[in-house]
Structure 1
Amino acid sequence: MKQAPVRRPDPDRRGRLIDVALDIIADVGVAGVSHRKIATAADVPLGSMTYHFDGMDDVLTAAFTRFADHVADEFEAVMCRAADRDAAVAALVGLITELFDSDRNLVLTIEFYALAARDVKFRSLTSAWMGRSRAALERHFDPLTARLLDALIEGLSLHLALERDRSDRAVEVRTAIERITTI
């Protein structure tokens, strides 16, 4: 008599698949990710993908939601620790100069923005991420300044991550923040 296959417990399989999807996106981009690649990398049956996700849009939504929430959580924690406006400026200098020290985070952010730019369904995720960033900034700055700082963080972080000359980054970033925040 043939025995039924032993099922191994995997209570966080969906979460693991999301993490693997992020790794694959960081490696080959949104265009290169597939259910098969994720299942293979996670060492699960391909059917697990259709069990846990309604399609590739669902996978991408879950992956980029996890990524945005992680970055936003870290950002909020840093801004919450800043006791006053000067500490908030110093915290922003650190965040901007270190945000994309990880090539993975840089690539995931660019892939996320490109996806949202191409497909309106993903813009609510980027809007929620920006909203959380602005709310954290508004602990120390008025809403318009928070919006300008949020844009500065996005743009300057990308510029700093992609340029070759990385000398005096902190000085340049502090100068930009002070110009925006000084009345």
Structure 2
Amino acid sequence: MASDEATPGTRRGRRNDPERRDRIIDACLDVIAEAGVAGTSHRKVAEAAGVPLGSMTYYFAGMDDLLHEAFTRFAVTGSEHFVRRMSEATDHESAQAAVVAIITEDVFGSARDLVLTHELYTLAARRAEYRTITSAWMARSRAALELHFDPETSRQLDALIEGLTIHRALDAEVRDVAEVVRAVERIAASPRSRALRASGAEA
């Protein structure tokens, strides 16, 4: 009887189970969330995905290839929520509200997201090839912010989002959402409002 796995040239395994590669990537993220990058192995991912161990080397050149694919999927999925929020904003005020929602609802919306994000950051801090993922993620976030804010303000808001989401996720004390609103307002105040405050101070 023919094996379920085939050589890459025949692609028999891919035709029999076209979603297998995607399942492996998703399972890899689940294993990382549970055991961390250090505890992730081909065997654990294969078991989590419910696929033969041989599938791992059939679809991926090695563990680095799989990790890069998995974290890329995670980063792209996360940025899609970010972009959607900012794209739906219609004016300066709703854009500020979108930033608040990103901080309080979207980023680190679950313990799994928190763990995966920090596992990616740790890996990227050690290895330059993974910084392409984090750099692309930040670029997409800033581009979305620049739909409503100037580039400098967008960079400041991006840093605020990063910092506040980490603090809110790891702080044992529940933080007041009003603090987030005030912080966003201070950075994202419209140029016209800034000009009015400046003219009032000079009067």
TM-score by length of 2: 0.85
Please tell me the residue identity of whatever aligns with 2:116: L
Offset at residue 5 of structure 1 (A): 5.4
Partner of residue 123, structure 1? 131
TM-score by length of 1: 0.94
Find out whether 1:97 has 2:104 as its counterpart: yes
**SS of 2:52 mapped into structure 1:** coil
Assess, with a 3 A threshold, how the Cα gap between structure 1 residues 111 and 6 changes in structure 2: closer, same or farther. closer
Assess, with a 3 A threshold, how the Cα gap between structure 1 residues 81 and 31 changes in structure 2: closer, same or farther. same
2 CA distance for matches of 1:6 and 1:160?
Answer: 47
Offset at residue 167 of structure 1 (A): 3.9
Q: Percent identity?
A: 58
1 CA distance for matches of 2:141 and 2:109?
Answer: 19
Tell whether the 8 Å contact from 2:28 to 2:45 is kept in structure 1 after alignment.
yes
User: After the TM superposition, which residues 77-92 of structure 1 pair with which residues of structure 2 at under 5 Å, given as runs?
Assistant: 77-92=84-99
**SS of 2:38 mapped into structure 1:** helix
- RMSD of the TM alignment (CA)? 1.4
Which residues of structure 1 form unaligned runs of 5+? none
Which residues of structure 2 form unaligned runs of 5+? 6-12, 195-203
2 CA distance for matches of 1:92 and 1:12?
Answer: 35
Partner of residue 34, structure 2? 27
Higher relative contact order at CA 8 Å, sep ≥6: structure 1 or structure 2? 1
**SS of 2:147 mapped into structure 1:** coil
Offset at residue 166 of structure 1 (A): 1.4
Deviations 1:17-56 (A, max 9, x none): 0000000001111111111110111121111100111111
2 CA distance for matches of 1:6 and 1:74?
Answer: 37
Deviations 1:84-106 (A, max 9, x none): 11101111111101222300001
Residue of 30, 39, 54 corresponding to 1:47? 54
Q: Which runs of 4+ in 1 moved over 3 A?
A: 3-8
Which structure has the greater CA radius of gyration?
A: 2
- Pick which of 6-15 and 89-98 moved more: 6-15
Offset at residue 6 of structure 1 (A): 6.5
2 CA distance for matches of 1:39 and 1:132?
Answer: 32
What is the number of equivalent residue pairs in this alignment? 180
Deviations 1:94-143 (A, max 9, x none): 11012223000011111111110011110011000000000000000000
Partner of residue 14, structure 1? 21
Please tell me the residue identity of whatever aligns with 2:53: L
Find out whether 1:160 has 2:168 as its counterpart: yes
